[in-house]
Amino acid sequence: MSNEVVLYHAENGVATVTLNRPDQRNAINPKACDAIRSAFDRVEEDPDVHIAILTGAGTLFCAGMDLKAFAGGAGDTILFGKYGFGGFVKRPRTKPVIAAVEGAALAGGFEMMLACDMVVAGTSAQFALPEVRIGLIPGAGGAVRLPVSIPRVRANEILLTGKPFGAKDAADWGVINQVTADGDALSTAQTIASDIASNAPLAVRHTLAIANQAHAENDAAHWPQNNKIIMEIGQTADAAEGARAFIEKRKPVWQGK
């Protein structure tokens, strides 16, 4: 396996961007942010690429932010660098992106998935926004996007409990498009991508822009408050304690401040 933190491959109009930190559960650190940003620069700039797939190497799509990097002071770089978390969640795009999820999409990984236009997942895949369990908020788009994508009460359950849920529930609730056999998420995404890539590129781009307009307007209205709150929360004693407790594999002791 390559030691590059993100792999890029383009063929027949389809680019595949693979998060490649399997030993770290594909968690996002500053180097990964830069690499993801660069990969999608290539997607946007290459006239021969019409659609992209985002996936993860190994057994997990993405576990979210690298909490060791966060505890080491890299939180602002990861969360507030160009295009937001992972260099991706706030990126303006003209070409569709399909997430191919195996294993789990957690926290920021789930939020990167939400930023995609379609999602395919293996039957054993798990999803969660567990930030409240470590003293943070789902500030990379989870609290902004989920309540306008699925029923508000369901979104609140996901956001406020932090509990994981499976691929069947994700499909039933409209969080993902298709559930495949484990190991088939990428090949299924490639089939969908090939179908889309065979269509007229300009028509696809303009259709996508219209389809995403309402979500884009919602994002624009709510990102400033979202960012203000996550910056404040990130400086609290509870946020520091949550990260330490996670790294030390113990139950956090909350101070409420």
Local mean pLDDT, 10-residue blocks, the chain (257 residues): 88 97 95 97 97 97 89 84 95 96 97 97 97 89 90 95 96 96 98 96 94 78 83 86 85 86
Residue 117 in tokens:
């236009």
Say what the pLDDT of residue 240 is.
Answer: 85
CA distance 140 to 112: 8
Beta strands 51-56 and 97-101 are: parallel
- Name 160's Cβ contacts closer than 8 Å, sequence gap at least 6: 132
Say what the pLDDT of residue 225 is.
Answer: 86
**Rounded to 5°, angle at Cα 41 from 35 and 45:** 150
Q: Which residues are catalytic?
A: 111, 131
Number of H helices and E strands in the chain, helices first, is 11, 9
CA distance 179 to 202: 29
Q: How many CB atoms lie within 10 A of CB 69?
A: 21
Closest C-alpha among 122, 41, 53, 130 to residue 87: 41
Closest C-alpha among 127, 124, 123, 125 to residue 112: 127
The residue assigned the tokens 């529930």 is 169
| Length of the chain (residues) | 257
Say what the pLDDT of residue 230 is.
Answer: 81
Say what the pLDDT of residue 12 is.
Answer: 95
Closest C-alpha among 178, 175, 185, 243 to residue 60: 185
| DSSP state letter for 86 | G
